[in-house]
Amino acid sequence: MLKIDRDLLAIQEVRNLVAKAKEAQRILDTYPQEKIDEIVKAMAEEAAEASEWLARIAVEETDIGVYEDKVIKNLFAAKRVYETIKDLKTVGFIRKDEINKIYEIAEPVGVIAALTPTTNPTSTAIFKSLISVKARNAIVFSPHPRAADCTCQAVEIMHKAAIRVGAPEGILGCISTPTLEATQTLLRHPDVNLVLATGGSEMVKAAYSAGKPAYGVGPGNVPAYIERSANVRDAVNAIIASKTFDNGTICASEQAVICDRCIAQEVKNNFTELGGVFLNPEEIYKLEKYAFRHDGSLNPAIVGKSAVDIAEKAGIKVPKSARVLLAPLSGVGKQYPLSKEKLSPILAYYEVEDWKEACQLCIELLNLGGLGHTMSIHSNDEEIIKKFALEKPAFRILVNQPSSFGAIGATTGLVPSLTLGCGTWGGNATSDNIGPMHLMNIKRVAYGVQTVDELKASLLAKENKPKECNAAGVSKGLNASIIDSIVEEVLKRLNS
């Protein structure tokens, strides 16, 4: 009986939040660009100010990740994302094409339902709130049950900041008691216009099955290839920095290292010097049993935990200085569980003969669970880099970059984002890094560039080419060969 009451209360909360969001969005839709920008700026500044506190309560509630790294994630969402979107036009005429005489007008999508993960609960809330309001939308969050409080706190901080500078009440909302029924009610609510989902595969599937337009993301099983021309020390440094950031909870973090056999010893030496621990077959078996459950799914107990903690729980002895666990594997697939996404400082390790073998191995790893997401290559050979980019089923090919930072646009020129689309390869609607432009409808005003008579004349105009004739003076067309044979036959008869 208590469960039923809890569900009913949660469902009613969703209905109330959506009703407020719909009315708030209707008012926000009337605001000029200057006012929208003022609101977004206030939200970003407040989120940046609260970044340390939000990081602390996120770690305390979820017991996932690293406090200092979550501060950086929050600041990335509040500062880098804001700096990228602050000058973007999202009200009225946003683009004019004088040559083709097309003018574009931005229109909001309306009320957005947002799903957030337990791995990045506050930074994702900051990011989605900023890009939604920038595009004049209201947004209602359904947080992960294990991160409900910290996500709601992040939303509330920005909501208060927005209201303080004139935003309508209810423009941001968060379900305080997220249940499965409440989330389904939110996704299917008739006044919700779009779903923005970040989280596990099941969450994204639920978003796509809600009968609404939806942006989701796919899992990342990012291979990192160290090619023989690479600066090995720099490559290993980048991979460790990326893989240990927030204990590997960013979906774009590396999941496997592949290196050419001719530089393998150098790669191993550098990993060992920088805190990597290579496991033997017995230790790999223990880690597999602990990291994955009987049905092949990832054990959530390892997500966002340190290498030392994971090793201890798996019954493996490692130095206290261990930063990353590396498991040398001979294949990819179900029989090699550690070849899958691990969301922790664990890396599969492979050696290959050359870039061609590495190419095939990267494709196998992406097909296993990271189609369309990301891969990285460490190389100074531009030809090999280009060949990799052409052949890999990933939409982010990062060159000499720490994958976690490069994919989200922190150390690259990609659009700063915490929602990374995987395109149709990954079952997503877009391959882009999601931003405000994905949360707007674009209305187009089109003027004529030619009259109907001019159109007909251009379509019916014959090419001004001299007609090719055969010996009999007959022009060659589509049946030129047939005409030639007839002429040849006539000439034979005349000469006989």
| Per-residue pLDDT of the chain in tens (496 residues, 90 and over written 9) | 455 577 888 899 999 999 999 999 999 999 999 999 999 999 999 999 999 999 999 999 999 999 999 999 999 999 999 999 999 999 999 999 999 999 999 999 999 999 999 999 999 999 999 999 999 999 999 999 999 999 999 999 999 999 999 999 999 999 999 999 999 999 999 999 999 988 766 777 777 788 899 998 878 999 999 999 999 999 999 999 999 999 999 999 999 999 999 999 999 999 999 999 999 999 999 999 999 999 999 999 999 999 999 999 999 999 999 999 999 999 999 999 999 999 999 999 999 999 999 999 999 999 998 899 999 999 999 999 999 899 899 999 999 999 999 999 999 999 999 999 999 998 888 999 999 999 999 999 999 999 999 999 999 998 655 555 554 444 444 455 554 554 465 455 545 5
- 2-216+435-445 is a CATH 3.40.630.10 domain: no
The predicted pLDDT at position 496 comes to 52
> What are the residue boundaries of the structural domains of the chain, listed by start?
2-216+435-445, 222-414
Which residue bears the tokens 């337009």?
Answer: 213
Give the torsion sign (CA, 191, 193, 198, 201).
positive
Burial (Cβ within 10 Å: 0-12, 13-18, ≥19) of residue 387: middle
Task: Enter the pTM of the model.
Answer: 0.89
Q: How far apart are CA 186 and CA 15, in angstroms?
A: 8
Question: What long-range pairs does 267-272 form, CB within 8 A, spacing at least 24?
Answer: 267/226, 267/232, 267/235, 267/236, 270/232, 270/233, 270/236, 270/237, 271/236, 271/240, 271/324, 271/326
Which residue bears the tokens 């109907």?
Answer: 452
The predicted pLDDT at position 489 comes to 57
Out of 3.40.50.300, 3.40.309.10, 3.40.1170.60, 3.90.190.20, the CATH code matching 222-414 is 3.40.309.10
The predicted pLDDT at position 203 comes to 72
Q: Which helix (H) or strand (E) holds 69?
A: helix 67-75
Q: How far apart are CA 290 and CA 447, in angstroms?
A: 64
Angle between helices 264-273 and 232-244 (to 10 degrees): 50
Q: Name residue 226's beta-bridge partners.
A: 259, 378
Alpha helices by DSSP H, listed for 315-402, are: 355-369, 382-391
Which is catalytic among the residues 150, 152, 174, 251? 251
The predicted pLDDT at position 493 comes to 53
The predicted pLDDT at position 478 comes to 42
Name the E strands within 200-295.
214-215, 222-226, 254-260, 276-278
The predicted pLDDT at position 492 comes to 58
Helices first, then strands: H and E counts in the chain: 18, 15
359 tagged catalytic: no
Q: Name residue 74's beta-bridge partners.
A: none
Judge whether 227 and 379 are in contact, CB under 8 Å: yes
Q: How far apart are CA 153 and CA 143, in angstroms?
A: 11
Q: How far apart are CA 376 and CA 406, in angstroms?
A: 9
